[in-house]
Structure 1
């Protein structure tokens, strides 16, 4: 009975997010038919490619009961390393950016686990260090490249609305989803996030779990920045300055709890699409940045309420209604 009830709650959470996404698409399509045009849907997926990749990596640290505040700065560093190191070959530059991200993720995880320091404190330090490193790499200017071919190939429309960049983000969600659902390490990550003391006592690999989530978080952010710099043929130290808050919002809208232990990549995918669709639609109808930020806050609060006590009350009422109808 407990397993069945849990399954229904998960299904209900998914349906809630699908319904919200469908409602947003329908509302914006009625308000402005250009919203569902191929050109706008392509632009929407391009925005999702950046936000979704960062939110995916960050959400894993949240599921593990930790937090990585450095993802925004890592996006900027990843893009800058790609163009600076890859002046002759952007693929080498991207490899260097990802290798650097692995190192940063390892250092974050080791410091948190070995010295029992809060991930908030460690990642704030990493954020500041990476931000300073980004400004040093940029040298106070925007770094650019004359290699436009790779960026044009990455952004070449596929099936009208997709690009290789957006498909890479979707592929990342699929791979991480399979990893979390079918591997023992995915189980360990959830246990560490929900019951850390029980996890340590039961033999769950706490240290390795932290290494995995922080490395994936850093690599995902660096990859997002690297692909973006190739697409734009430029990179700056301020790139990604607001991405951390957006990624957190996408993860929470997707059902990832700040207390850890809950959430799935599939729900984070929906959360990222919801925020991207809403921001795109509001911008299309002429709403400014302040109004969009306010709308983001309202959606975030609504999702939190529906996932919390209000959601539990609604699920209980629905169950009682179904029981009455069956009787």
Structure 2
């Protein structure tokens, strides 16, 4: 592990411990079961988006359409909920998976960056969302499903948050223990060398974007059932939050580095930070500024700035040892 990577990993662990302690000392009831439940409810939605996005990032690509996909999936779910909530969720996830596969198929055909391809998909999905909504907020009146998804389990969890945790575990096992998972890392680490060594790069990219689309759809579908409503306008910062969580969690922008466990850490850091600041009555603008500043610090420390700090620390330690030896 490089010095910069060690530094950013240490910072993530410090933040994961320091933020809850700091807010516990300054915010009344921050560590109450109700508030911890609220944190994991936020984790349930953002975690699925960040997890799917991080898989494409590990493969050296980037899916800009995840937030729009979540919006469309929520609308599809509410439209089809008359078929039953499970069937509606499955249909929405199937739509997300097909669109994700379409994104992957377009990459070699168009010979352009996934950023360009998925921004086109994002614009298309935004249009589809407004068409599905018809200028209205869609809703349904069966709150039994919402109550079931959000019922409290073990004090701080819900079925929705446990579904997200299960998805993290499944993707961690897939990336760690399957050949295709290793091909995904190879695709992001050094694609040309991966192709020459026989890695199934094409299939890896298809699977990555399918996972990204499916998880984005699942996130949008579950949140729409939870709220019993869906609209064509999702929070404009959703994509930024998902990308920030993945990057803060240690997923390299260049690909080949990252893990579901580290992404979960990044998501928890952001949800704890936003929850605590919200309890302190911070505005949405202030939340965005703090999130952006944290992301910038992590990116800088993960690059040359972090390496320079570690080199300076190493040189300082060597100088001290020489002085001690000389004095002795």
| Structure (1 or 2) with the larger CA radius of gyration | 2
Aligned match for 1:42, one of 29, 37, 57: 37
Tell me, what secondary structure is at the counterpart of 2:95?
Answer: helix
Counterpart residue number, 1:22? 17
Q: Does 1:177 align with 2:148?
A: no
- Structure 2 gaps of 5+ residues are none
Query: Which residues in structure 2 correspond to 1:164-243 (within 5 Å)?
Result: 164-243=159-238
Q: Which stretches in structure 1 are left out of the alignment for 5+ residues?
A: none
Is 1:246 aligned with 2:241? yes
Q: Distance in 1 between matches of 2:5 and 2:260?
A: 13
Matches within 5 A, 1:57-96: 57-96=52-91
RMSD: 2.0
Query: In structure 2, do the counterparts of structure 1 residues 168 and 318 end up closer, same or farther at CA, with 3 Å as the change threshold?
Result: farther
Contact 2:184 2:204 in 1 (8 A): yes
CA contact (8 A) 1:73 1:240 kept: no
Q: CA deviation at 1:231?
A: 0.5
Q: Residue 73 of structure 1: SS of its match in structure 2?
A: helix
Whether the 8 Å contact between 1:155 and 1:165 is mirrored in structure 2 is: yes
Q: How many residues align?
A: 321
With structure 2 as the length reference, what TM-score do the two structures score? 0.92
Q: Which residue of 2 aligns with 1:282?
A: 277
Deviation at 1:291, TM superposition (A): 0.9
Moved more, 16-25 or 218-227: 16-25
The 10-residue stretch of structure 1 (212-221 or 144-153) with the greater mean CA deviation from structure 2: 144-153
Name 2:124's counterpart in structure 1. 129
CA contact (8 A) 1:80 1:134 kept: yes
Which of 145, 149, 158 is residue 140 of structure 2 equivalent to?
145
Tell me by how many angstroms 1:225 deviates: 0.5
- Give the Cα separation in 2 of the matches to 1:164 and 1:10: 34
In 2, Cα distance between the equivalents of 1:177 and 1:11? 21
Deviation string, structure 1 residues 29-76 (Cα, Å, up to 9, x no partner): 111132111111111111111111100000111111111111011111
Contact 1:106–1:215 at 8 Å: present in 2 too? yes
Give the Å deviation of 1:314.
4.2
What is the CA distance between 1:310 and its match in structure 2? 3.3
CA contact (8 A) 1:73 1:241 kept: no
TM-fit CA distance, 1:114: 3.0
Deviation at 1:161, TM superposition (A): 1.0
**In structure 2, what is the Cα distance between the partners aligned to 1:270 and 1:230?**
26
SS of alignment partner, residue 35 of structure 1: coil
Residue of structure 1 in register with 2:292 after alignment: 297
| Aligned-partner SS, 2:88 | helix
Superposition deviation, residue 239 in structure 1: 2.4
Alpha-carbon offset, residue 305 of structure 1: 2.2
For 1:166 and 1:240, locate their aligned partners in 2 and report how far apart those are by CA, in whole Å. 20
- Tell me the TM-score normalized by structure 1: 0.93
SS at match of 1:204: coil
Aligned-pair distance for 1:113? 2.4
Q: Please state how far the C-alpha of 1:86 moved relative to its aligned partner.
A: 2.1
